[in-house]
Structure 1
Amino acid sequence: MEVRNVSKQTVHGISARTNNTAEMSPHGKIPDLWQLFDARVPVDYQGGERVYGVYYNYESDHAGMFNVLAGFDGASFPSDITLEEITIPDGKYLVFVERGDMPQIAIDAWTKVWEHFTRDDCPHQRLYNIDFEYYANGNQIEVHIAIK
């Protein structure tokens, strides 16, 4: 993991409101959200477009409600679905990188996030304003956690 200063990025996609307890159950919304996004939003990977998972509108901390948006940084929007827009702000982020096969790399990256921030000697403090996943390609994920 490393600390990075990230420039703002606008992302368009589809969102849902959920919490971590729901996502640990069979009734989690995030898998269905990604299935809908993959089925309805054409992403031009060859043209340089990339996919993001954005976490925002945190009610409190890891135990509260939050919004998650499955989105992309492209400019060609499907006509049969309305996409929401969110801007990831400039800021300091702690970045966790995983490589391998999906969806296991996402699970592994978030496991490292939870382990890091629950340590008694954790040197970083989460802001709980906006966090995001960046999919550089089909075999790499970067989880960006906003920190003070």
Structure 2
Amino acid sequence: MKIEEVQGLRIQGVSVRTCNADEAHPGRARIGALWTKFAAQVAPHLAVEAVTYGVYHQYESDSNGAYDLLVGGDVLTPHASLDAQPWSVIDIRKGPYAVFRAQGPIPNAVIEAWGRVWAHFAEPHCADQRAYTTDFERYGPDGEVDICIALAAT
């Protein structure tokens, strides 16, 4: 894990409201279908240089409560118009983020990395505190994935 200062950016895409308890049950899980919707509706409108993000926001409480997940990109093609699409927009907040690198085949690597995130913040003497504002997964061009967790001001 490393700390990164994020400058903030706008992400456009599709979103869903869910919670971790629902995602643990295949009949109630929504995230897989959201990624399918992203691939069909948003990905074709992303610019070549775009980075794909999964942005967690609108937290009800903590990791046990409901949250919104927006899957999208940071750069649309010139002919893509947000007005013509039923997309959502979220601004990733600027500030310090704890960054956890996912290693290996997706989605298992991302699931394993989220396990490390939860274990890190559950440590009794953890110096970091989650802000529960905007957390995100950043999917790099070489297949690397970083999970970035907003940190509370100290």
TM-score, scaled relative to structure 1: 0.92
For 2:117, what is the secondary structure of its paired residue? helix
Structure in which a larger fraction of residues adopt strand = 1
> Hey, what does 2:24 align to over in structure 1?
24
Q: Do 2:57 and 2:68's aligned partners in 1 also have CA atoms closer than 8 Å? A: yes
Q: Do 1:135 and 1:142's aligned partners in 2 also have CA atoms closer than 8 Å? A: yes
> Hey, what does 2:49 align to over in structure 1?
48
Q: Do 2:17 and 2:69's aligned partners in 1 also have CA atoms closer than 8 Å? A: yes
Distance in 2 (CA, whole Å) between partners of 1:43 and 1:91 is 28
For residues 135 and 115 of structure 1, do their structure 2 counterparts lie closer, same or farther at Cα, with a shift above 3 Å needed? same
Report which stretch shifted further, 106-115 or 74-83. 74-83
> Hey, what does 1:100 align to over in structure 2?
104
Root-mean-square deviation over aligned CA pairs = 1.7
Distance in 2 (CA, whole Å) between partners of 1:68 and 1:62 is 13
Instruction: Give the partner amino acid of 1:102.
Output: I
Distance in 2 (CA, whole Å) between partners of 1:105 and 1:2 is 18
For 2:55, what is the secondary structure of its paired residue? strand
Does the alignment pair 1:64 with 2:65?
yes
> Hey, what does 2:122 align to over in structure 1?
118
Give the gaps of 5 or more residues in structure 1: none
Question: What is the CA distance between 1:75 and its match in structure 2?
Answer: 2.0
For 1:126, what is the secondary structure of its paired residue? coil
Q: Do 1:54 and 1:69's aligned partners in 2 also have CA atoms closer than 8 Å? A: yes
For 1:16, what is the secondary structure of its paired residue? strand
Paired positions, count: 147
Q: Percent identity?
A: 36
Q: Do 2:46 and 2:73's aligned partners in 1 also have CA atoms closer than 8 Å? A: no
Q: Which of 124, 133, 136 is the aligned partner of 1:132? A: 136
> Hey, what does 2:91 align to over in structure 1?
87
For residues 105 and 138 of structure 1, do their structure 2 counterparts lie closer, same or farther at Cα, with a shift above 3 Å needed? farther
Instruction: Give the partner amino acid of 2:131.
Output: L
Residues 2-42 of structure 1, C-alpha deviations (whole Å, 9 max, x = no match):
01110111100000001110011112111100011012221
Instruction: Give the partner amino acid of 2:121.
Output: F
Q: Do 1:40 and 1:78's aligned partners in 2 also have CA atoms closer than 8 Å? A: no
